[in-house]
Amino acid sequence: MLDIRGRVVIYSTVGCPHCLAAKNSLKDAGIPFIEVSVNRFPTVRTWLQGKTGKTSVPQIFFNETYVGGNDDLQKALQDEEAWKKLVEDIQENEAKEDELVIPHPSEAVDVPEDETKFVCASDPTVAVIEELKESGILRSQRLSLFSTVKNAFSGQQFVQWIMENKKINEEEALKIGTELLTKKFIKSTQDGSTFENSAQSYYSLNDNSDSLALNAGLTQNCVVENANELSELLRRLIIRLFDDHVSSDGKTVNYKAIKESETYKEYVMLSRELQHVSVENMTQDELKAFFINIYNALVIHATVENGPPTNWLSRYKFFDKTSYLIGGHDFSLNEIENGILRANKKGVIQLFAPFGKSDPRRSFSLIQVDPRIHFALNCGAKSCPPIKTYSAENINDELRVATESYLETDEALKIDVENGIVYLSSLLRWYASDFGDSAEDILRWVSRNVAFAEKKEGLEKILESKKWKVRYVTYDWASNEKE
């Protein structure tokens, strides 16, 4: 390492491949640096945007000299004269203390990623299920001429059995039945949401033995009181795996090594607990954060298990068939994106909306589309926005930052003021109806949501001219898998 008087500061986030590439380049060059995570210090992000005009990371400083992001650092490394000037500055000059914000660790607002753990408290309700299996009331029940349900029982049968078995009254019996239904250990054959002491109300065990969902199988039967906390933890585990196995240049991920890691095995077991979470009473923000996190985690999980899609047909199958069991229902990637997050709108090559009128999953759909979700969902391709974790409490600020960061890149938005051409990500073409009714609506939406002053001014100038063209940047579907 070089002996320096000044300092190099890199502002970054966990799981950011460009941040990792920048840090490795600095290490290879023998440059010591201070890293500040904007995840843990949100006020720093606000200051950083005011200082640089950007919300993306990394952002790098040599003393008071603003270098820029990873691409800017790589250009400086290739420019012998520019690099020499930067290095001489930190070797010869001390940093000015008031120029950059470097917070004390005690100011962090969250727990460091590597200290986040899930403590599995065994759910006592499981014992009731085991006793129910031996009760003798489970039978195949014919619900109609063409419909038969295995391991089913009426609400009346359950109440009578458990009152005798546990020596409790009807009110307590109904309470236990409701708890089993809420925790998704049983389900209503009529898609009812309440447990009733009735000979006409039938329920069955939630059996997923035939399910192809990636999180199917035996659970640890943990008590999950907050579904959003579980989704955030799953996403953190995925980001940690991603961060541990991304290449030094930040361009490829070793998915085979991920599959062999203990952290991944922990993730797989924890993902099964989604089978018993309850999402019925979530707010719109809670649903949004929960399903964004789960979508992003599921993409990585599927890529580790089955490999990335390699052509349009395998991509269609990947998004249409890859699924998780969540709260007693099966949700594919397409159903999460288009059915839930896009308020039950048909997808790019779909003829119909994912959920029909009688589909119970339709009740989880967002009331309206928040277009910013497109800059939060990571589909595993090189052109996808970077992976991040979202929280119900801060979802709007987090989506704002994700949108502003993505629109800073030329892959998302490039302005040719002289020729009146706006280059947009293909995401805004495929999901055009989420952004507006016309090309001008889409451009004005982008103008309102881009934060980088240079691009914002250029776009506004083009819009004022009334003479503009929109062209879409080719989406790079290539996988980031290490070969």
Mean pLDDT for the stretch of residues 386-411: 88
Asked if pLDDT for residue 52 goes beyond 70, the answer is yes
The answer for residues whose C-beta is within 8 angstroms of residue 229's C-beta and 6 or more apart is none
Examine the domain organization and report whether 138 and 105 are in the same domain. no
pLDDT band at 55; cut points 50, 70, 90: confident
More confident residue, 382 or 266: 266
Domain boundary among 50, 84, 110: 110
| Residue 37, SS3 per DSSP | strand
Asked if pLDDT for residue 156 goes beyond 80, the answer is yes
Examine the domain organization and report whether 247 and 393 are in the same domain. yes
Burial class of 333 by CB neighbour count within 10 A (0 to 12, 13 to 18, 19+): buried
Specify if 222 maps to a domain: no
- pLDDT at residue 475, rounded to an integer: 87
Cis peptide before 58 (omega within 30 of 0): yes
Would you state the torsion angle of the CA atoms of residues 359, 376, 369, 334, taken in this order, to the nearest 10 degrees?
A: -30
Q: Which conformational region is residue 229 in: left (phi greater than 0), alpha (psi within -120 to 50 degrees), or beta? A: alpha
Examine the domain organization and report whether 254 and 371 are in the same domain. yes
- pLDDT at residue 114, rounded to an integer: 46
Q: What is the pTM of this model?
A: 0.84
Examine the domain organization and report whether 361 and 409 are in the same domain. no
How much of the chain, in percent, has pLDDT values that exceed 90? Answer: 57
Examine the domain organization and report whether 255 and 340 are in the same domain. yes
Asked if pLDDT for residue 382 goes beyond 80, the answer is no
Mean pLDDT for the stretch of residues 399-425: 93
The answer for residues whose C-beta is within 8 angstroms of residue 448's C-beta and 6 or more apart is none
Digit-coded pLDDT (tens) for 331-368: 999 999 999 999 999 998 888 999 999 898 999 999 99
* Cα–Cα nearest to 445, from 433, 454, 453: 433
Specify if 361 maps to a domain: yes
Digit-coded pLDDT (tens) for 298-308: 998 999 999 88
Angle between helices 262-271 and 284-306 (to 10 degrees): 130
Asked if pLDDT for residue 412 goes beyond 80, the answer is yes
Examine the domain organization and report whether 323 and 372 are in the same domain. yes
Domain boundary among 361, 384, 399: 399
Specify if 198 maps to a domain: yes
At 158, which CATH number? 1.10.10.10
Domain boundary among 87, 110, 133: 110
Specify if 320 maps to a domain: yes
Mean pLDDT for the stretch of residues 386-395: 82
Examine the domain organization and report whether 405 and 393 are in the same domain. no
Q: Count of domains in the chain?
A: 4
Q: Give the range of the structural domain holding residue 431, as residue numbers without chain letter.
A: 400-473
Digit-coded pLDDT (tens) for 100-145: 888 876 666 654 444 456 777 778 888 899 999 999 999 988 877 7
CA distance to 54, 264, 340, per residue, from 402 (Å): 11, 26, 20
More confident residue, 124 or 74: 74
Digit-coded pLDDT (tens) for 435-465: 999 999 999 999 999 999 999 999 999 999 9
| Residue 447, SS3 per DSSP | helix
Burial class of 223 by CB neighbour count within 10 A (0 to 12, 13 to 18, 19+): middle
- pLDDT at residue 115, rounded to an integer: 47
